[in-house]
Amino acid sequence: MKKLIRDDFEARANMKKEGLIFIGKFVAVFAITFAILVLVLFGSFALPIDSQVYKNVDKSTTGAYKAWDTEQRGNLDQFTNDIFVLGIMRSTTSKHPIFSAINDPNHPFDDTLYNGNLVELAKNQDVSESYGQYWHGWASWLRPMLAVFTYQQIQIVYGIIFYAMLGFILFLMYKRKMLLYGAFLVLAFLVMSITTLYLSHSFFLPIIVSLVSMVYILLKSDNDKFVKHLSFVFLVIGMLTSYVEILAYPVATYVFSATMVFLILRNEKFKGLGFIKNALILLKTGVSWIIGYAVFWVSKWVFFSSLISAQRLAESFTHVAKYTGSDGLWATLKMMFTYTFGGAGTAMLIICLVTIVAILVYSIIYREKYPVLFPLTFLAAVPIIWLGMTQTNANIHPYIIYKTVGILFFPWGCIVTITVMDVIKRLRMKPVIGDGKMPAKKSVKKLTK
């Protein structure tokens, strides 16, 4: 009896010790990543390349959308590039790297310095008030690139990066016999407007983070500690998202990366995990991503406010509150799907909602046979949940936020395929009686003799 008590005590002590070690590592990963990203941001804006950046910004135009997308969508992306991206780059200076990194009101946006296509429109806006609250992590590599390339040339580079990385991901999925599901990744990008997705720097960055994360996950999936390290991986993914994102569709990085994880967990190697462990992995990756995204967001503003003024922190919270209001969930979802699918938008919304709910029920009923179906179904619902949380932002910026709809089609296509294939398989199975070795008709005859 004493031995059992002692063993139980030692087990509890070891669990507590392991928990403390995990928390310590988690905090350390956060702190180190935060320090690196802040230094990269400061370093980028401290580079003495002002004249080269100004020169290439003045030579840049961004009207490359009309041939590839609707004029209205293209005009909005072009406006964002001209005013938000190139305009802010033209007004920053290496003499004030900290202020430039967040476009502080003490060094406001100067639209008179930039000869952009929409400069007259810019003059009619208080751009420093509208955009000054942003943390410009997205500019960390754009500024050095503008010292060498014009914006048109950067768009070409981004296009090459996008298609090359997408091709590499599909190759890695093919090697793991997952190419069928890779088709739904392509579908998601098609819905998000695959030909213009990389043309807008600020809106392409979540996609870059997603692509890099998926490559990393695919390459590391053979590691014996793959599942164990997912908390740290998604912590960093959440932090990188918060570093570069401007409240457009940040959930892309989580949904794409987590979907890839659960597709990998379908492999024979991980079959023993079961429903509960897969659900815990979903919880673990989701919480880690949220901590990375939200805590980094608060930390960066607390840090910069301590360097500049406490007012900046209050302004950032006010800005987020402004865009996370409620304007009617059903109306918002209908609008997003209409921008994406035109007249078929409402029908597509209903189809997606019905299939997600139906497969969610199916995944619970057959949870032991398909333990990853429940997490994948939840991931398909995440973009809809996000739109519900940021309804005001969706209504103000519909031609940006509509891309959120495309995100769900990666996990959605996967769960529909898995479910349909299983239903077909079940329908083809012949009913058996007894030990299952004899066809049903013969078994009945034998029993009636």
pLDDT at 327 over 80: no
Write down the pLDDT at residue 75. Answer: 53
The model's pLDDT over 345-386, given as tens digits with 9 standing for 90+, comes to: 999 999 999 999 999 999 999 888 888 999 999 999 999 999
pLDDT at 316 over 70: no
Q: What stretches of 25-128 adopt beta strand conformation (E)?
A: none
The model's pLDDT over 251-273, given as tens digits with 9 standing for 90+, comes to: 999 999 999 999 999 886 777 68
pLDDT at 138 over 60: yes
Write down the pLDDT at residue 124. Answer: 41
Write down the pLDDT at residue 129. Answer: 43
> Which of the two residues, 388 and 5, has the higher pLDDT score?
388
The model's pLDDT over 65-106, given as tens digits with 9 standing for 90+, comes to: 444 445 455 455 566 666 667 767 777 777 877 777 776 544
Write down the pLDDT at residue 390. Answer: 85
Q: Are 166 and 215 in contact (CB under 8 A)?
A: no
Instruction: Please count the other Cβ atoms lying within 10 Å of the Cβ belonging to residue 341.
Output: 16
Q: What is the DSSP string of 326-389?
A: -S-HHHHHHHHHHHHHGGGHHHHHHHHHHHHHHHHHHHHHTTTT-TTHHHHHHHHHHHHHHHHH
Write down the pLDDT at residue 11. Answer: 64
Lowest-pLDDT choice from 8-12, 159-163, 303-307: 8-12
List C-alpha distances in Å: 267 to 33, 115, 225, 378, 398: 31, 55, 15, 20, 38
Write down the pLDDT at residue 406. Answer: 93
User: Percent of the chain scored above 70 by pLDDT?
Assistant: 74
The model's pLDDT over 196-253, given as tens digits with 9 standing for 90+, comes to: 788 777 778 899 999 999 999 999 988 878 888 999 999 999 999 999 887 778 999 9
Instruction: Please count the other Cβ atoms lying within 10 Å of the Cβ belonging to residue 447.
Output: 9
Output the six-digit token pair for 305: 């406010």
Looking at every residue in the chain, the average pLDDT score rounds to 80
Q: Name which of 165, 145, 164, 147 is nearest 155 in CA terms.
A: 145
The model's pLDDT over 416-432, given as tens digits with 9 standing for 90+, comes to: 999 998 888 878 775 55
| Average pLDDT value for residue range 160-183 | 94
| Average pLDDT value for residue range 28-36 | 95
pLDDT at 151 over 80: yes
pTM reported for the whole predicted model: 0.84
